[in-house]
Structure 1
């Protein structure tokens, strides 16, 4: 809206006039910071920026900048000169804003000092100080970005232009693969599934001022960030990797196991879906970078996401987790106007996506996503802040997707399927793209506009651009031919095996410390196991809700460790998804996190991070995720349906996860050692009913025990008449039943599975063949349980040895009830187990 200049100029010191003399403030858009620098002044761009981020501070801010520029005339190509404006601007801006916010004498007289607190414990003075500080920080950020833009060298500018050209050349070849029949599998053509970046090539500039190369910064690109991928490693190998990802051939990035791109060695985290998940991985990587950077500047982790993905809870959790600990991270929102087919107003009510940063207490900026210099400067500024310990920033890039969501969607988006080209296709009738918006952005092709800018500056000429396009096409075509000629992946290399387990010798009862009322509780043993890990490996840390500070977790289990390891027992935000996602990222970046889910029931809100992220990384691209997730579980405590569930079966069928469930203090400590040392994610279930049960106390040495291999069961009681198989708290129930049966001459063996995945099939089958009768007992509901899976294994591989049907006893197929008599009915009782055992023996 136009504002009369008299209003704007009122109160300028010394009657000075700003650049808007005698006129009206021109219309400004959300992307004004990226206005072409050849046609606007520094003061003009500054005014546009302030109008965008802090419109009510516009008069004071422009007055301050006008005074600074008057005292320090600056060449806009002078990096050092622009940067030198920051200190005086901060000082003068603090004063002009304070003056503008102070009530005049008349208002002060009327208020008479009777203004209440703005919120409890926050005075008006303090709130205004905070507001002034926010404006000053943002204005300082603007000047720093201008300085960085001015510092871009000719070589950097040429790289950005050539990088955008290469991005479009690769994009075009991906489309050509999809529409052609060059790759064949058997007698049919294979098009592959892929996504395009048309219109968003300027993202190439984002990593320009990052630390690129092995052991450098890390980015998490999504499907529109091809340019950023190429910038991190601009080499033919990267081009081939991108082409090969779509066509599923043998070789990088994933040997055909997934269609996404990535190169972890070069700091490119392979993408995944759902789209919010990588944001939490980046938060964990940033956590690791922060913890490993004592005494030096940390590496930086960068999250990319589209505007549609900002509605995903994991994205919010990731920003919040990074913001509260000021982790070295950058969050980029690529606002390309459409989330697949959903327009922005149906996805968010925010004015601009940068406004979301206010809720996390971090700075943000919205810039033109087709301006590579503005993008390079913004990411350079954000990286500097992150390395300096100031925490994350949010960068919104405003552009438009000039193609469909994926190759197959082009015809729906544009109205017809376009041919690969260096220019944008016209929008035809029937396309679902917004016509007015499309025509606006069609004039802002980042390659054409930046080439024209550099040509006007005398940096390039038109022949250069044509030559670079030809060179890019030739290089991309060479790599495309290599992909066509490459072999398909070998199915035998998938690492899958369905072979039955061999039969070992007769099982023997495992040696273990005796139960002793003077010994350690199960809870103390878990604590000792965590302490052993923290003491032996500085990479280990604990991360979870309410674990740190002076509290020590909901059961006070960790409290004895806080004095020694308080800096490595860290409170997470109240989010199971964030707890798990941060652990995944930190593990990838070289740490050994022990995550804690306060009650295993709550893991449901972090399910995606375990099942779709942690579990798939080794299979997809060979990454190592050495993390432990501690999960207190189980009933027998009258705690109801949200604090008593058995969730182990949820993850039992998820390839890539290991699961342990110790039943004794000794095993709890020894299995913790194995879990922390493992190179893959381990879910560590600790039964709450055993925590302080005096009947299962054991004498434990002060020295750490020998680790128990994951995947090895323990025979707790020998017997030849019946095999009782269980895990967790019900191992002890089975042992009591075995004692009762022995009084009548029935010798029942009790097998403690202890490790649920991998399952000790050898022990299970050997015991079934020895005893000929099998009773499987557990606390979980029977339907879909681990018990049913164990029964199927025995039925398939030891059927000839069975003298009776396999019996499975579990809880009722209902949620866990709260009231004591209801829970008693819900759980399998000791009497039921004894009765079932006697029936099997008598069969």
Structure 2
């Protein structure tokens, strides 16, 4: 291996040697502990240490790195305390996830590291978000994110690179090309020869380096970062390397030809660099022995501390509380009595505008939301008032933009991400349920992101622009869900969602946009998340509903004047107001749970089950659900009307009243 030390001093080269030796020695110790059953799983980076260490040491200490399984050298180079690192590997509470996640599935803002999730690709966009936040704050910083050659096959790779290129984000995409994605060789992963072929297609500078040459990695990343701080833009660096052990220890290496091991053993990054330093008399055998003894002592001290720490004791209250960043909402009342008649769509726009004024750190992102004002014109005129830095058109890339929202949160920003239609959120599903929802529980990083979701049927828009998909997220701890049915709530709940530091799914029914209006305060105000609203008080039957269901219930109330209806608008679906539900059951004893979503697996099933479990003694009849048919949403209006539950609601009311 050829080393070009350039202008680097002996001390700098020795620092690189210490940096690359420490993760190797830790790994060798971990492999012993794995065989002894003292570590449950291990993803070895032996043979690839130069990439992690060279990259981390080349950056400034406050620049974020987003590593993967085989990047132990990032953590050691950032001087993460070994006792905490080892405690993390063992599932101890003194680790970084309180025993809730394993290996490198964690982050540490103190060390400017954002750890991976097992889905690999989603973290690429998080790096985009971190870089965007720095760019907006005029900070000359870069972010560096790792991807393996296998993980680069995911759509998230394309989306993250594409957005970074379009927005000139200072992100280094470090591709560790070790020839295999678990057991699948590169020629079964992609057709191109080198990842440097991909860079020009995105308009990104791309370089290829010897990933086993610590000086080459360090120098390349250092020079790239310096250039990108002055001239913000992304860069792709392909580091050619090899994985000397299995994807993880349990998977073995039988699928790899033996000659590859023999070839790459000669390119061992630690042994070759050590030999170079000895040959150049930069280090002596005695000095190396001293360095090894020092690292060994540090490792053993860290292990002793970690082993002496007991396994965590389960605390149900703490587990539940940690799903969300602590936040006690104080409902904000309007500063004056001034009111204006506003449509539902205008109320949403008004709330969004006032939140932008209230929170200078808030950034809006979505398809066509800038000059065009969004397909429903909710952000029309926002660019003129707030500028394109804060009102950002995005490419067609739901997953990337949601990931960028998490990255922005890491840097203290707020994000509103608009799905053009709620249906399209499926393209970013993993980011929401695996990244945004779990981040605070896993390592204490909240996701300050609101996802606006134009939802619902009744507009003859067919199966892909009409779905009510709130139940997809209702099952996911860590999220909050609101669904206003009136202009007043639309504005107040949107403001509250943006104020809340946790991820909030905000559903807005398209059919309500221009069909209803109401006098609402001109000033900024909020509505309490988790608090239902009693629309009508009655004594015969309760209809528990939300969204368009509120209006169906009110219409039926006007038609069936001989029945006294209690209509409860949940408004918030996660959390939902159990006290209000119990109160309405107590008033009437007869209950219908109504929603536009399909019947099977809908939110109504959970509410009905809770009523049966907790309010059984208050019931005078069975709890009944009314929902849409268990089909996709049809296009033709006669089919769509049959699909929706509105017509069946009357039948159910009559049936329950006759029970």
Same fold (TM over 0.5): yes
**Take 1:840 and 1:193, find their aligned partners in 2: how far apart are those partners?**
56
- 1:837 counterpart residue number: 653
- 2:65 counterpart residue number: 219
How far the C-alpha of 1:583 sits from its partner, in A, is 1.1
Give SS of 1:527's match.
Answer: helix
**Larger C-alpha radius of gyration, 1 or 2?**
1
How far the C-alpha of 1:838 sits from its partner, in A, is 2.4
Higher relative contact order (CA 8 A, sep 6+): 2
**Take 1:793 and 1:592, find their aligned partners in 2: how far apart are those partners?**
34
How far the C-alpha of 1:655 sits from its partner, in A, is 0.5
Write out aligned runs for 1:643-662 (5 A).
Answer: 643-662=465-484
Matching residue within 594, 599, 616 for 2:438 = 616
**Take 2:376 and 2:532, find their aligned partners in 1: how far apart are those partners?**
28
- 1:88 counterpart residue number: none
Give per-residue Cα distances to partners, 1:609-628, cap 9 Å, x unaligned: 00110000011011111110
Is the 2:122–2:400 Cα contact (8 Å) retained in structure 1?
A: no
Give per-residue Cα distances to partners, 1:274-298, cap 9 Å, x unaligned: 01011111111111111112xxx43
How far the C-alpha of 1:552 sits from its partner, in A, is 0.9
**Take 2:279 and 2:136, find their aligned partners in 1: how far apart are those partners?**
47
Is the 2:176–2:239 Cα contact (8 Å) retained in structure 1?
A: yes
Write out aligned runs for 1:8-23 (5 A).
Answer: none
Is residue 465 of structure 1 aligned with residue 288 of structure 2?
yes
Name structure 1 gaps, 5 residues minimum.
Answer: 1-34, 39-148, 184-190, 414-430, 499-510
**Take 1:573 and 1:464, find their aligned partners in 2: how far apart are those partners?**
54
Is residue 521 of structure 1 aligned with residue 343 of structure 2?
yes
Give per-residue Cα distances to partners, 1:118-155, cap 9 Å, x unaligned: xxxxxxxxxxxxxxxxxxxxxxxxxxxxxxx6233322
Gap change, CA 1:537 and 1:740, over 3 Å in 2 = same
Is residue 454 of structure 1 aligned with residue 277 of structure 2?
yes
Is residue 710 of structure 1 aligned with residue 566 of structure 2?
no
Is the 1:385–1:391 Cα contact (8 Å) retained in structure 2?
A: no
Matching residue within 124, 129, 151 for 1:279 = 124
Matching residue within 562, 569, 572 for 1:752 = 569
How far the C-alpha of 1:494 sits from its partner, in A, is 6.3
**Take 2:607 and 2:227, find their aligned partners in 1: how far apart are those partners?**
54
| TM-score normalised per structure 2 | 0.95
How far the C-alpha of 1:355 sits from its partner, in A, is 1.4
**Take 2:345 and 2:386, find their aligned partners in 1: how far apart are those partners?**
18
Is residue 803 of structure 1 aligned with residue 645 of structure 2?
no
Write out aligned runs for 1:41-120 (5 A).
Answer: none
- 1:63 counterpart residue number: none
Is the 1:260–1:271 Cα contact (8 Å) retained in structure 2?
A: no
- 1:324 counterpart residue number: 166
**Take 1:319 and 1:334, find their aligned partners in 2: how far apart are those partners?**
16
How far the C-alpha of 1:832 sits from its partner, in A, is 2.3
Name structure 2 gaps, 5 residues minimum.
Answer: 322-333
Give per-residue Cα distances to partners, 1:192-235, cap 9 Å, x unaligned: 122111101112111222111xxx100000001111221122x5
- 2:7 counterpart residue number: 151
**Take 2:22 and 2:488, find their aligned partners in 1: how far apart are those partners?**
59
How far the C-alpha of 1:481 sits from its partner, in A, is 1.6
Give SS of 1:821's match.
Answer: helix
Give SS of 1:767's match.
Answer: helix
Is residue 266 of structure 1 aligned with residue 92 of structure 2?
no
- 2:557 counterpart residue number: 738
Q: Which runs of 4+ in 1 moved over 4 A?
A: none
Is the 2:86–2:95 Cα contact (8 Å) retained in structure 1?
A: no
**Take 2:182 and 2:233, find their aligned partners in 1: how far apart are those partners?**
31
- 1:551 counterpart residue number: 372
Give per-residue Cα distances to partners, 1:545-574, cap 9 Å, x unaligned: 1111x2011111111322201321101111
**Take 1:255 and 1:587, find their aligned partners in 2: how far apart are those partners?**
21
**Take 1:780 and 1:151, find their aligned partners in 2: how far apart are those partners?**
66
**Take 2:193 and 2:484, find their aligned partners in 1: how far apart are those partners?**
52
**Take 1:698 and 1:800, find their aligned partners in 2: how far apart are those partners?**
39
How far the C-alpha of 1:787 sits from its partner, in A, is 0.6
Is the 1:260–1:272 Cα contact (8 Å) retained in structure 2?
A: no
Matching residue within 54, 59, 62 for 1:205 = 54
- 1:406 counterpart residue number: 248
How far the C-alpha of 1:493 sits from its partner, in A, is 5.6
**Take 2:163 and 2:189, find their aligned partners in 1: how far apart are those partners?**
23
How far the C-alpha of 1:466 sits from its partner, in A, is 2.2
How far the C-alpha of 1:531 sits from its partner, in A, is 0.2
- 2:538 counterpart residue number: 719
**Take 2:317 and 2:133, find their aligned partners in 1: how far apart are those partners?**
30
- 2:592 counterpart residue number: 775
Give per-residue Cα distances to partners, 1:734-780, cap 9 Å, x unaligned: 11112223x21x21110001000011111112211221110111110
- 2:17 counterpart residue number: 161
Give SS of 1:208's match.
Answer: helix
**Take 1:389 and 1:553, find their aligned partners in 2: how far apart are those partners?**
31
Gap change, CA 1:473 and 1:447, over 3 Å in 2 = same
Is residue 638 of structure 1 aligned with residue 460 of structure 2?
yes
**Take 1:443 and 1:533, find their aligned partners in 2: how far apart are those partners?**
60
Over aligned residues, Cα RMSD in angstroms?
Answer: 1.9
- 1:75 counterpart residue number: none
- 2:86 counterpart residue number: 243
Is residue 583 of structure 1 aligned with residue 405 of structure 2?
yes
**Take 1:315 and 1:170, find their aligned partners in 2: how far apart are those partners?**
31
- 2:325 counterpart residue number: none
Is the 1:572–1:578 Cα contact (8 Å) retained in structure 2?
A: no
How far the C-alpha of 1:176 sits from its partner, in A, is 1.9
How far the C-alpha of 1:37 sits from its partner, in A, is 4.2
Matching residue within 432, 437, 445 for 2:260 = 437
